[in-house]
Structure 1
């Protein structure tokens, strides 16, 4: 899976004798980017899209609250 992400350019790597090395900070950057994918705070989205995603997240959280067995 990691080799797929490297080949797509999602993780920057350094080739070293046929093996690929990925710097630790690059792994953290990728994880953070992946975690925010499709979320309101994804890097590079405009304010209108961010607000729309936040409203969707609020709606989803309200649905979860009212359909949870603890409610």
Structure 2
């Protein structure tokens, strides 16, 4: 599976099922993040508030060198809008 020309890791595929994450949420987060942080040359964290999920922050971790979405989850540490 691909999202926004990015490959989805096996880890993410499993976590999407476990965490009830919608593909559209991940796509919106990568395409239109509310915040984006370059962690390293090969890693970027994308954040977006998901209104459908009680305004929680979704974090999507992307390996830019390999064009792979590594994981996604609602970040409990990120607060506010």
Answer yes or no: same fold by TM over 0.5: no
Q: Which has the larger radius of gyration?
A: 1
Return the TM-score normalized by structure 2. Answer: 0.26
Larger strand fraction of residues: 2
Greater relative contact order structure (CA < 8 Å, 6+ sep): 2
